[in-house]
Amino acid sequence: MTAVPNVSVGSGAAGAAIFPDSDSRRYRYFEPRAKRATHYEDVTVDVQPDPERYLLQNWIIAFPNGKGAYYKDATAALSSNWHAFRAPDQEWERTHYQRQSKIEGMVQSVIANGRKSGAPKAFDKSWVKILQTHLGAWKHAEFGLGTSLMQAQRYGYTQMINNATLTNSSYKLRLAQDITLYLAEIGMDIPGFDDNAGKHTWLEDKGWQGTREAVEAIMGSGDYLEQYFATNIVFEPLVGELFRSRFLMQVASPNGDFITPSVISAAEADYERNLANSIDLMHLLATDNQHAAHNKKLFQGWVNKHVALANKAAAGLQPIWSQPHSKPVQYADARAQSVERIKKILGELGLVLPKE
């Protein structure tokens, strides 16, 4: 036998030798959305296996009902190809931490600088009351949606769906915590600030019960896609943006508060990303070449259910618009903008807003 050296080329570097596939430097087991796979696709696609793709032996552990780790009927929606979805925000771990970390840095700087300049003491008195009761209550809504999406990210049929849901959950939970700590911090500068008023308002105040019911309806859904749909397609435009963008962001500064809009603004940008992800996924399903009719009917049902709850929630919040000392925005205008917004979103999906 001739002795052959173990490593014939003396290097482990790319290009040190030419042989079959010595230049095969792309993942070649999935079809990229565009000509070349994005970094997000490379680190995401097919990590969650599927018996219909490469899972040769099927799922090898089952629930007592015989279902494996992931199953298509965890949602009532149908798809001819669950693997087609790619999140438009292209989020993977590095971009997620970069973004979240920057937001946390920005929020903390704004709060610290505001407090240093004594800003909270200059807030209008009626506005302080609004922050402690209504922003205090709102943090629970964000938390509820965050935990609901944390639950939802267990069920999706592909890694792309579940990771988009996971990052959505992470954004919501971050915002809930940001608001909590923001209120606790400015509370130290404002004599008599009641940090517990928010939770009490959330649980007891009549005006907030519609919002709580709408959030609990999303949390209680057994269909992960309904949770994702209801959060981003219905609740956010009709209640989330209504309260954040069309009240807090606009009413704060005329009442001497330049801090709250900065804390809340990150959530608006979060939502733009989550909305883009949701619409892309729902659009794929609503135009599916085999199941479009089924899905559109299902989605319209979800719209009808959650819009009714969201309308009730919004109506319950209406009195808040008249509570600040300075009232630059009217509820009716804010509400009209919300309705316009959801109509546009639903229009993208071929769905209609039910009449009130």
Partner 1 sequence: MSGTLTLNKITAQRGISVGEAAKKIADLGWNPSYVQEAMTFPTDYKITKAPKDPMKQVLRSYFPMQEEKDNRVYGALDAALRGDMFRNVEPRWVEWMKLFLAIIPFPEISAARSMAMVGRLAPGEDLRTGFTMQMVDEFRHSTIQMNLKKWYMENYIDPAGFDITEEAFGKCYATTIGRQFGEGFLTGDAITAANIYLTVVAETAFTNTLFVAMPSEAARNGDYALPTVFLSVQSDESRHIGNGHSLLMSMLKEPENHLLLERDLRYAFWQNHAIVDAAIGTFIEYGTTNRDKNKESYAEMWHRWIFEDYYRTYMLPLEKYGIKIHHDDVQLAWKRLTDKRYVHKVGQFFAVGWSANFWRIEAQTEKDFEWFEHKYPGWYAEFGNFWKWYEKLSHRGQTNILFNGDVGYVYPHRCWSCLVPCLIREDIVTDEIDGKLHTFAHELDRWTAVNAFAGEYEGRPTPAMGRFSGRREWESVYHNVDMADAIKDLGFVRTDGKTLVAQPHLRFDAKEMWTLDDVRGHILKSPLETLRAMSPADREAHLAEYRKGFTINPCN
Nearer to partner 1, 96 or 343 (CB): 96
Least gap, CB of 169 to partner 1 (angstroms): 7
Nearer to partner 1, 115 or 291 (CB): 115
Least gap, CB of 287 to partner 1 (angstroms): 27
Least gap, CB of 203 to partner 1 (angstroms): 6
Nearer to partner 1, 213 or 333 (CB): 213
| Short-list 88, 101, 98, CA closest to 280 | 88
Distance (Å, rounded) from C-alpha 315 to C-alpha 68?
43
Residue 91 burial class via C-beta count within 10 angstroms: exposed 0-12, middle 13-18, buried 19 and up: buried
Distance (Å, rounded) from C-alpha 187 to C-alpha 178?
14
Nearer to partner 1, 210 or 237 (CB): 210
Least gap, CB of 178 to partner 1 (angstroms): 7
CB 221 within 8 A of CB 159: no
Least gap, CB of 133 to partner 1 (angstroms): 16
Distance (Å, rounded) from C-alpha 25 to C-alpha 37?
12
Least gap, CB of 286 to partner 1 (angstroms): 25
Least gap, CB of 40 to partner 1 (angstroms): 9
Nearer to partner 1, 4 or 34 (CB): 4
For residue 10 the two structure tokens come to: 């003396």
DSSP 8-state code for residue 239: I
Distance (Å, rounded) from C-alpha 303 to C-alpha 178?
30
Nearer to partner 1, 57 or 289 (CB): 57
| CA-CA-CA-CA dihedral for 132, 134, 135, 136, to nearest 10 | 60
Q: How many CB atoms lie within 10 A of CB 348?
A: 15
Least gap, CB of 254 to partner 1 (angstroms): 26
Nearer to partner 1, 62 or 293 (CB): 62
Nearer to partner 1, 174 or 335 (CB): 174
Q: Which residues contact 339 (CB under 8 A, 6 or more apart)?
A: 238, 353
Crossing angle of helices 136-152 and 206-220, in 10° steps, is: 10
Say how far residue 139 (Cα) sits from the centre of its chain: 15
Nearer to partner 1, 93 or 340 (CB): 93
* Amino acid at site 348: E
Distance (Å, rounded) from C-alpha 138 to C-alpha 145?
11
The answer to whether the Cα torsion of 214, 218, 220, 223 is positive or negative is: positive
Q: Which residue has the tokens 């903008």?
A: 337
Nearer to partner 1, 251 or 314 (CB): 314
Q: Which residue has the tokens 């909270």?
A: 120
Q: Which residues contact 175 (CB under 8 A, 6 or more apart)?
A: 139, 142, 146, 266, 267, 270
Least gap, CB of 327 to partner 1 (angstroms): 30
Least gap, CB of 47 to partner 1 (angstroms): 5
Q: Which residue has the tokens 């995401």?
A: 44
